[in-house]
Amino acid sequence: MPLPAITTFDTPLQTPSPYFFGSGIAGQFPEYLNRREFDRCFLVTSPKLLQLIGQPLLKAIDAAAVRCNTVLIDDAERNKDWDTLRTVCEELTARGATRDSVLLAFGGGVIGNVTGLAAALVYRGIRFVHVPTTVTAQTDSTLSNKQAINGAMGKNQFGVYHAPLFIWADADYPAREPVRQQKAGIVEGVKNVFISQPSTDAADEMLDLWRNPERLAELLLWITRSKLDILRQDPTERASALVLEYGHTFGHAIEWLGRGRLLHGEAISIGMCLAADLSHALGHMSAEFRDAHYRILGQRLGTPTTLPGWIATETLYETMLADNKRTRKGLRFLLLRRCGEFADAGGDPLISADRSIVLQVLEESRSRSAEVAVRR
Ligand SMILES: NC(=O)c1ccc[n+]([C@@H]2O[C@H](COP(=O)([O-])OP(=O)(O)OC[C@H]3O[C@@H](n4cnc5c(N)ncnc54)[C@H](O)[C@@H]3O)[C@@H](O)[C@H]2O)c1
């Protein structure tokens, strides 16, 4: 029987990594891993994932006689913290990891981020491989080389850039994800269209693919490539790829305050709608494009678009102030003028807004969410 096809490309980052993508490709993993010299590997994952989807990969590793230990962690977002990071690092050294060992991060963004950061810290940096299992991880988090844990004051506050040896994305894994999580992952694909395409048509085409589960692999590849195209223009993510953070100033703070009630993509979905509301309120964005945010995210994809009533607007504002990208210029926002075009202040894509306007936008969104709750 012919082996499942593998599509190969490179991440266009400052330190590029090969990205291998296909469906049902777990059996071919050891062959790619064995192209490197290493003494043993450590598969970092959660007990649930190991049982649910991890066996084909483990069997393939075992069959190839690769020395492999498993390190199990609880991958809930609340555990993306110092305790979990320390546990992984200490367990690795206690169980004999050396500078020649390789970590395999098998899971979603939480496992990928914690494992990537542990790999950067152990012996001042050992190698690791991303084996992303969620839509978000395959199409977004593994494509940035950013590894981080959350701090007491906010998300992703402590981290480093550390590139994986390669990324091994098997579309069979996200196919097993709960639909709510898949949708949250697709939000970043919608964002990629908003920030880089001349019209929203591509978002509609993408959501047409989403209606057909048979085409999930195509959709994943589509979103991944849309992000790589943006990164290719600016591998350091310092200037143009900053645009990938569209909706994230609001979104990260909402996700943080949700303490697990909202998924990352759901918070970003609300964050993009708030950015659209703010841009419209400041006179940059047309009502038509603002409404397109609500139609595509809320009606077509079905992710949340308004600020939940349990988030106090003042608290959200203060949390945004503590955002990890805060600069000496204070709180500033990435705002779109139209699809594919950012509003800017004299060439600077980050725009300041009066606290009172931001709070008003937040209040209006919150009151619309209360209306929706009453109508239901
Ligand atoms: N580094 C970056 O650039 C970057 C970018 C985007 C997101 N992130 C981070 O990623 C995290 C979110 O990651 P995520 O959305 O991938 O989810 P996740 O890692 O939080 O996982 C969510 C849940 O899904 C389960 N799961 C994972 N794969 C599964 C599968 N195939 N089938 C069934 N269940 C599965 C996990 O066990 C977990 O219970 C956040 O912490 C976010 O900050 C980082």
Show contacts of 324-327: CB within 8 Å, 24+ apart.
324/154, 324/155, 324/156, 324/157, 324/252, 325/245, 325/249
Q: Which atom in ligand 1 lies closest to the alpha carbon of residue 156?
A: 43
Nearest-CA residue for ligand 1 atom 9 is 109
Nearest-CA residue for ligand 1 atom 3 is 141
Count CA atoms closer than 13 A to 131's CA, side-chain side: 30
Q: 259: CA distance to ligand 1 center in Å?
A: 14
72, 102 contact by CB (below 8 A): no
* Residue 4 pLDDT greater than 60, yes or no: yes
228, 188 contact by CB (below 8 A): no
| pTM of the shown model | 0.91
Placement of tokens 């790999």 in the chain: 119
pLDDT at position 346 is: 75
Query: pLDDT category, 356, cuts 50, 70, 90?
Result: very high
Q: Which atom in ligand 1 lies closest to the alpha carbon of residue 265?
A: 15
Query: pLDDT category, 73, cuts 50, 70, 90?
Result: very high
Indicate if ligand 1 lies below 6 Å from the C-beta of 106. no
Nearest-CA residue for ligand 1 atom 24 is 108
pLDDT at position 11 is: 85
Q: Which among 249, 280, 272, 171 has a CA at the least distance from the CA of 215?
A: 171
324, 228 contact by CB (below 8 A): no
Indicate if ligand 1 lies below 6 Å from the C-beta of 258. no
Identity at 194, one-letter amino acid code: F
Helices (H), the chain: 29-33, 47-52, 55-63, 82-94, 109-121, 135-139, 179-196, 201-210, 216-232, 248-258, 264-281, 287-293, 313-321, 355-375
The 10s digit of each residue's pLDDT in 133-152 is 999 999 999 998 999 999 98
Placement of tokens 């143009």 in the chain: 240
pLDDT at position 62 is: 96
Mutate which of 23, 49, 55, 223 for ligand 1 pocket (most atoms within 8 A of beta carbon): 49
Q: Which among 104, 216, 137, 214 has a CA at the least distance from the CA of 171?
A: 216
Mutate which of 128, 181, 187, 254 for ligand 1 pocket (most atoms within 8 A of beta carbon): 181
Query: pLDDT category, 168, cuts 50, 70, 90?
Result: very high
Instruction: Indicate the burial class of 51 (C-beta count within 10 angstroms; 0-12, 13-18, 19 or more).
Output: exposed
Q: Which among 263, 371, 275 has a CA at the least distance from the CA of 331?
A: 275
Q: Write out the H or E segment, with its range, that includes residue 150.
A: strand 146-151
Indicate if ligand 1 lies below 6 Å from the C-beta of 113. yes
Biggest CA–CA distance in the chain, Å, is: 64
Query: pLDDT category, 240, cuts 50, 70, 90?
Result: low
Active site residues: 146, 245
pLDDT at position 137 is: 97
293, 305 contact by CB (below 8 A): yes
Q: Which among 10, 20, 16, 4 has a CA at the least distance from the CA of 220?
A: 20
Q: 251: CA distance to ligand 1 center in Å?
A: 16
The 10s digit of each residue's pLDDT in 313-332 is 999 999 998 775 666 677 89
Indicate if ligand 1 lies below 6 Å from the C-beta of 136. yes
pLDDT at position 86 is: 98
Indicate if ligand 1 lies below 6 Å from the C-beta of 146. yes
Q: Which among 50, 101, 38, 102 has a CA at the least distance from the CA of 75?
A: 50
Indicate if ligand 1 lies below 6 Å from the C-beta of 182. no
97 three-class SS: coil
Indicate if ligand 1 lies below 6 Å from the C-beta of 49. yes
Lowest mean pLDDT among 25-29, 130-134, 254-258, 358-362: 254-258
